Amino acid sequence: MSVARVYHMTLATRGYSPSQNAWSFEAHYTAALSGDIHDVRLDLADFGIPHFRGAIMRRYGLRIPEGRIRVGWEREEPALASSPDVHVEFREMTYRGKQAYARRLPAETLRYGNKYDPGADYDEADAYEDKEYDSDEYEEYEESGDEVEEYEDDEET
Amino acid sequence: MRKRKPALNRERTLKIDKDCFVNQDWIWDYVRMAIATCRLKAIEVMRIQMSRTRKGFHFYLDIAPPVEAELTNQLQWLLGDDCGRVDRNRARIRSGLQGWNKLFERPNARLRTICRSVDALSPTTQ
């Protein structure tokens, strides 16, 4: 039997918010799976992309073409055992000038191997008490009138 | 009422993105500088690994003891991590994301150990 590993996959897309700030939406998928690294990465991306597009559709009513979704992988780590649960954390990032601000959205737990069904009601993780994000945290960053600059997303590869 | 933020795990690894190609002797100097910088904060570097990327290098520094997320990000910034990445990490930390320290690797990326704690000041390979 092949070794189980923890996979960290990030799907992201970017654009502009209604207030013309650069904006991006990130989903961070964590799964403990076994199998060949290349195959698992491909399978997990195939699993995650429709879910990611559905999440954007649900939240913003936007249809994102697959070509505008960026997929990133971190180093795999050893896992004790594989699990069919995939934990997903969402962050909405806004850029004002060169500063980034993240907004936490409710997390989800998916079942790996089940095809994503947009009509299904997925578990929202009980990991945090404040499922609804409290925007007070960012009130200190009121619009500063900074010029909006292009979001350069060449960070992590 | 202000809601509680989830506590983030302490980090054992610093991840540094260097989008620049340099000579090997510069990398040895970087290793020495990284060890000295961590010591300023009473942190020992146990191992340094690196991989080549399209644009330069990734460095992974295993440290002891594990440190809080804010200090991890600060150390990464001190060690010359990509500034855009530092900023995004800062935002992710503030939003309570557990796996905030993102550094993407190609599937076939090879990590090379260039330094261990016992010979921290004398790199393992030439």
ipTM value? 0.83
Give this prediction's pTM.
0.79
Contact A127 B6 (CB under 8 A): yes
CA A25/CA A54 separation, integer angstroms:
13
CA A30/CA B93 separation, integer angstroms:
17
Q: Can you give the three-state secondary structure of A84-138, one letter per residue?
A: CEEEEEEEEEEEECCEEEEEEEEEEEEECCCCCCCCCCCEECCCCCCCCCCHHHH
Q: How far is CA B73 from the centre of its chain?
A: 8
Q: Which amino acid is at B88?
A: R
Q: Which amino acid is at B123?
A: P
Q: Which residues of chain B have pLDDT under 70?
A: 1-6, 118-126
The total number of residues shown for chain B amounts to: 126
Contacts of B40 (CB under 8 A, 6+ apart): none
CA A65/CA B35 separation, integer angstroms:
45
Q: Is B125 a member of any domain?
A: no
Tens-place pLDDT, residues A105-122: 999 999 987 665 555 555
pLDDT given for residue A128 in this prediction: 40
Exposure letters A22-45 (e unless 16+ CB within 10 A, then b): bbbbbbbbbbbbeeebeebbebbb
CA atoms within 13 A on the CB side of B60: 20
Q: How far is CA A105 from CA A52, A72, B72, in A?
A: 13, 20, 24
How far does the CA of residue A80 sit from the closest CA of chain B (Å)?
18
Q: Is B59 a member of any domain?
A: yes
Q: Is B69 a member of any domain?
A: yes
Mean residue pLDDT across chain B: 88
Q: Is B6 a member of any domain?
A: no
- Choose among B5, B92, B106: nearest Cβ to A91: B92
Q: Is B4 a member of any domain?
A: no
What number is the average pLDDT over the span A124-133?
Answer: 41
| Chain A residues inside the 8 Å CB shell of B57 | none
Look up tokens 């597009």; give the residue.
A53
- Choose among B3, B97, B111: nearest Cβ to A129: B3
Q: Is B35 a member of any domain?
A: yes
Domain that holds residue B80: 11-118
Q: How many domains does the structure of chain B reveal?
A: 1
